[in-house]
Each structure stands twice: as structure tokens, then as C-alpha cells.
Amino acid sequence: MSADVAGIVDSGADGTLFPLELAPALGLDVEKDLVKQDGSSGAAGTTFETWAARKPITGRVFAIMRPGESAEFFGEPFELSPAFAADGPVLWGRSDFFTNFTITFHTHEHLGLLLTLEQ
């Protein structure tokens, strides 16, 4: 099972974070395949409940490399170990996503990314 997932590349996120509603699209049963964690911290000292997948999820970058061309897979597949939260955006974080790429941020640009994830 696979899903195309757009998210924000977030240098402030320790790990990758998905909304809980994405789990079934990845073939994950919330009751059987996810384990509740002690909690995660967010911006400005907030905390929220998170769940972790029992096994990693495989991702591939699907990108438009040149204007006017069709999107294509970029690079090799890689593993993600995301946390799932009740709501919020998809955040590509440092502990798993960033280890696979060299990422340069420019303050005037927002970096969003579409990945195809497989379970």
C-alpha cells in the first residue's frame, strides 16, 4: 500500500510527524500497528500525544526536477520512523528524513516536499 504525502521540511522538528488520519492510507491499523508514546514536545513548550509505528515506513522523493517536466522519483528509497499525532501538518524532521539528504534553507523560500510512502 502506498500514499503520496506532501509535507514541510522542518529543521526545528526532531523527528518526522504525520497526522494520525494518514495511518490507514499507509496500511497501518491504529490499534494494532501503532504504539502510544509518552508524549512529544512541540513549539513554545507544548506537548501532545503521539503514536509510533512498530516498523519503519519506506519513502521516496517524487519531484519535478525541471519546470514543465513531469514529476519523477529522485534518489533511492529510505526508511522513516515517524510519530503520528491527532492533528497537524506533515513535518519532515531531522532524526530520519534529514539523514538521507543535504538540505539548504534560504530564508525567503518555503521548502515543501512530496514523498511516496510505502508500507
Here the CATH number for the domain that contains residue 86 is: 2.40.70.10
Confidence (pTM): 0.77
In DSSP terms, 43 is beta-bridged to none
Dump pLDDT digits (tens) for 55-71. 888 888 877 777 888 88
Q: What are phi and psi of 98, to 5 degrees?
A: -65, -25
Domain that holds residue 15: 2-118
In 3D space, the residue among 103, 95, 93, 99 whose CA is nearest the CA of residue 76 turns out to be 99
CA distance 26 to 87: 16
| pLDDT value of residue 49 | 87
Name residues of the chain where pLDDT drops below 70. 39-44, 105-119
Looking at residue 10, its pLDDT comes to: 85
Total structural domains in the chain? 1
Distance between CA atoms of residues 83 and 7, nearest Å:
14
* Size (the chain), residues: 119
Beta strands in the chain (DSSP E): 2-9, 17-19, 34-36, 40-41, 47-48, 50-53, 57-63, 72-80, 83-85, 91-92, 112-118
